[in-house]
Amino acid sequence: MATIKDLEPKNVWNNFYLLTRQPRPSKHEEKVRAFLLEWAKEKGVEAFADETGNVIMRAPATKGYENRRGVILQAHMDMVPQKTAETKHDFLTDPIETEVLGEWLGAKGTTLGADDGIGVALAMAVVEDKKLPHGPVEVLITYDEETGMTGAEKLRPGLFKGDILLNLDSEDEGELCIGCAGGLDGIGDFSYKTMKAPKGYKAFRIGVKGLQGGHSGMDISLYRANACKIIARVLLPLIQKYGAKVSGIRAGSLRNAIPFEGTADVLLPADKAKAAEAKVRKIFHDVYEEFKDTDPGAKFSYERLVPKPLTYIEDKVMLNAVKAILACPAGVVRMSSAFKGLTETSTNLAMIRCGRGHLRVYSLMRSAVNTAKAQLASEMRCVFELAGAKFTTTGGYSGWTPKPDTPVYKVVCDVWKKVSGKKMVVNATHGGLECALLGAKYPNWEMASIGPTIVHPHSPDERVKIDTVGNGWEFLKELLLAIPEKK
């Protein structure tokens, strides 16, 4: 049975394998950063970390290519740490265990980290190959892309000599990405008092798991079920009709991942517990029927909870929070009129957390149109403030505005036609790309984003199509050959 070590091209796949050995969840990149610097030292590649933690590598032009325009290959070192409920894995210490699944490479119960480990592996393959013909090449490997694009945001101007940036973080072979959405984080914060659990109540845990989840930008238009919404949908009638008290609620795990599991612990009057269970199972049945095409693996649970919780969240606050979660926009708000099939504006109702007197609802709003993103934030604010919560926004960044006449785009399209025999699809993405922030730091850069085919990033179902990595390597080599000379 094939393993990652049997895949071609071996230089790229070996680099990616080495990355799977390094813990690298966002905001915990210390080990992978040290690995990259040590790897470069062993390969005789100039490399250093800037003052914030980005890793920069440089490879001089090969003989005869000294007068070519300088290229910056850019990718990010961090990955989204997601796992299934059944998987035992510590992302701070454990390596990612990969498996070949026919035409695809995946991981065993966790995210794979092909987003954007494959991009890093491709850049490493370029700078380590002393015989590969190319002009001056610089590599920028940023950190904390997935939870705030911090590395790109903190990058200092003036570090790079090149003026063509090839971002290696796109996820569809044969597509040239020339624009991306901007983003904004939102938090609805409900303050609550903790009440003592009453006598004569039984405790139950309501759960949902096995949803598809996925990338909140790339997969939001697939209209998958959202665990936060499902939990709130169950809780509303339990509170209003059956007098349920909610002692805790937790759903989702990351702001940029569609929530695929969640739980709520409830206290129900003993004489209403049986009727309440029937209502819960009816809602679960309805949800499954609604989403069986997009989330066929959905699993629901309603189990007796022992020991019984000692406290619960005050009724009025909990009811208002549930209503706000149900009323809050979630999913696609508007599709793009400029690019067919592309989402323009959306919101991911990402996480619910409660503790220490606060119930917080986290969301990520995206839009290619800055005013539309601001309007969406205003609507979210209205919902939460009407429900008695405070609403704050953080981490905002603008989108990368498409400029179809950029000269480097023709080079990319011509090389892809030469290598594949196919026409390059020019598109934009609803996901966030660091090009938006990098372009503000280096306005002279011509930027393009390319990459192999990756599906279901940010979820344990993440896969990379094996042959597109090899195709991408051949494409990248030819693209470096075709970079024009300086004027």
Give 142-161 pLDDT, tens digit per residue.
999 998 899 999 999 999 99
What pLDDT band is residue 430 in, cutting at 50, 70 and 90?
very high
182-191 vs 358-367, strand pairing mode: antiparallel
Instruction: Please tell me the least confidently modeled range out of 88-92, 143-147, 266-270, 395-399.
Output: 395-399
Does residue 1 carry a pLDDT above 80? no
145 given a catalytic annotation: yes
Q: Of 29, 78, 169, 277, which one is the catalytic site residue?
A: 78
Quick check: helix, strand or coil at residue 47?
A: strand
Q: Percent of the chain at pLDDT above 70?
A: 100
Does residue 358 carry a pLDDT above 90? yes
Find the mean pLDDT for residues 290-317: 97
Find the mean pLDDT for residues 197-209: 97
Average pLDDT, the chain: 96
What pLDDT band is residue 432 in, cutting at 50, 70 and 90?
confident
**Cβ-Cβ contacts under 8 Å for 405 (sequence gap 6 or more):** none
Does residue 366 carry a pLDDT above 90? yes
Which residues is 347 bridged to in the sheet? 331, 365
Does residue 401 carry a pLDDT above 90? no
The pair phi, psi for residue 293, each rounded to 5°, is -80, -35
Does residue 322 carry a pLDDT above 80? yes
Architecture of the domain spanning 4-181+400-482: 3-Layer(aba) Sandwich (3.40)
Does residue 330 carry a pLDDT above 90? yes
Give 28-79 pLDDT, tens digit per residue.
999 999 999 999 999 999 999 999 999 999 999 999 999 999 999 999 999 9
Give 222-245 pLDDT, tens digit per residue.
999 999 999 999 999 999 999 999
| 82, 460 Cβ separation under 8 angstroms | yes
Query: CA-to-CA distance for 395 and 264, rounded, in angstroms?
Result: 29
pLDDT value at residue 464: 98
Which residues is 187 bridged to in the sheet? 362, 392
Q: Domain-by-domain residue ranges, the chain?
A: 4-181+400-482, 183-397
Q: Would you call the peptide bond into 404 cis, given omega within 30 degrees of 0 as the criterion? A: no
Distances (CA, A) of 45 to 53, 133, 349: 18, 16, 43
Which residue in 173, 169, 161, 134 sits closest to 72, CA to CA? 161
Q: Of 116, 145, 261, 461, which one is the catalytic site residue?
A: 145
pLDDT value at residue 397: 86
Query: CA-to-CA distance for 391 and 405, rounded, in angstroms?
Result: 40
Find the mean pLDDT for residues 111-139: 97
pLDDT value at residue 52: 97
Residue 134's CB: how many other CB atoms inside 10 A? 21
pLDDT value at residue 265: 98
Does residue 412 carry a pLDDT above 80? yes
Does residue 109 carry a pLDDT above 90? yes
R_g over Cα of the chain: 24
66 given a catalytic annotation: no
Provide the CATH topology of domain 183-397: Alpha-Beta Plaits (3.30.70)
pLDDT value at residue 340: 85
pLDDT value at residue 395: 83
pLDDT value at residue 292: 97
